[in-house]
Amino acid sequence: MKTRTPTIAFFALLTLSLAACTSGAQPPASGGDPTPTGPANPTSPSGGGQGSTVYVDSIDILTRESFPVQMSAIVKGNLPDPCTTITSASSKRDGNTFKIDIVTARPTDAVCIQMLSPFEQSVALDVAGLKAGTYTVVAGEVSKTFELAVDNVLK
């Protein structure tokens, strides 16, 4: 009898440990949007399909030394898991605001560890022909402003 007690105790402890590991948050169904955690700001893709939420942490503006000036937004953040990939990134201007849209894809049959996967994406900003002024770039809930000191037009 004494030899069975440690074995039973071991299996009871193992069962409790496994139950504790699986009773937490479950990963989202494929193609679903996970709940954002931490300081990241989500942006949902507009492209539909297998897209997942992108967590945007920061935007940097890169200005190339040329005239007319050329600019890009460097978006940094995290994807919900390593199986999710960025399929496209674009910007669209509305007045003085550039809205960045990042579209992702995730295979429906992917079995993937649920951990954030960092990304850095460069997105061209169409600033040709813009008048001097202050402009805002928005991705998710993160925004960054830049200023054109002079009209960005070839004369």
120 within domain boundaries: yes
pLDDT at 51 over 90: no
Q: Over the stretch 113-131, which tens digit does the pLDDT of each residue have?
A: 989 999 999 999 999 999 9
112 within domain boundaries: yes
17 within domain boundaries: no
Most confident of 50-54, 91-95, 149-153: 91-95
What's residue 126's pLDDT? 97
155 within domain boundaries: no
Structure-block tokens of residue 69: 């000036």
56 within domain boundaries: yes
What's residue 55's pLDDT? 95
123 within domain boundaries: yes
What's residue 4's pLDDT? 59
State which residues form the domain around 82.
40-148
* Residue 45 to residues 8, 37, 79, 154, Cα–Cα distance (Å): 50, 18, 12, 35
69 within domain boundaries: yes
Q: Over the stretch 6-39, which tens digit does the pLDDT of each residue have?
A: 666 655 555 544 444 433 434 444 344 433 333 3
84 within domain boundaries: yes
What's residue 53's pLDDT? 85
Burial 103-119 (b: 16+ CB within 10 A, else e): bbbbeeeeeeeeebbeb
Domain total of the chain: 1
